[in-house]
Amino acid sequence: MKTLGLIGGMSWESTAEYYRLLNELTRDRLGGLHSARLVLHSVDFADIERLQTAGRWEEAGKVLAGAARSLEAAGAELLLICTNTMHKVADQVAAAVSVPLLHLADATADAVRAAGLRRVGLLGTAFTMEQDFYRGRLASGGLDVLVPDTDARALVHRVIYQELCLGVVREESRAAYRRVIGELVAAGAEGIVLGCTEIELLVRQEDSPVPLFPTARLHAEAAVAAALDGR
């Protein structure tokens, strides 16, 4: 099995999910006491969040590029950025190393197409929902992407940063997300992309009338397949 390098800590709540998923998926594939070969570089999310809010993405990219180089030096053969939003700097990170970076949006688009769907609703941080770095990547993968209206985007973003990234899961927030999902489905969404890894802590399939695409799980599945099968 190839050694996977994880750029995590954004937030550590979802990075812990990545660790669990990667090890469970490896055990499921190989059986017995097998677990994933992993190297983790976990950043201080407070530093990254300040750069995000200030629009200082190149500086944030330098932090993640440094993390990528440290992972390569530690033996990582395939890299994962364990967050959707910071794929805004994915090209900067990939350019800093000689090992491949598995792009989360590509793994997600592959899964949506494999399900026979094309039109999806996207939930995530305001950066992910409103900017083109992620929506455009999904669109280039053949998907038609819908996002919530302005007020709903603000609600989704607030819950991520003020609750989920702090490990807080509230039933009222789950109900609010259900309403947003319902509005996207009414607008024509055939599936919902949970385009923030923390959302998987809050929303489950029973909360949606259409298929959900949990990006952390999809990323982990693609990573284990690549590490074991060379895909």
With b meaning 16 or more CB within 10 Å and e meaning fewer, what string describes 126-162? bbbbeeebbbebbeebebebbbbeeebbebbbebbbe
The catalytic position among 15, 26, 83, 108 is 83
Torsion sign across C-alpha atoms 12, 17, 18, 22: positive
Residue with tokens 């990075």, as numbered in its chain:
15
Question: Reduced to 3 states, what is the DSSP secondary structure of residue 4?
Answer: strand
The active-site residue out of 26, 82, 128, 196 is 196
* Residue that the structure tokens 């074991």 belong to: 228
- For 143, the 3-state DSSP assignment is coil
Assess whether 83 carries a catalytic annotation: yes
- Active-site amino acid positions: 83, 196
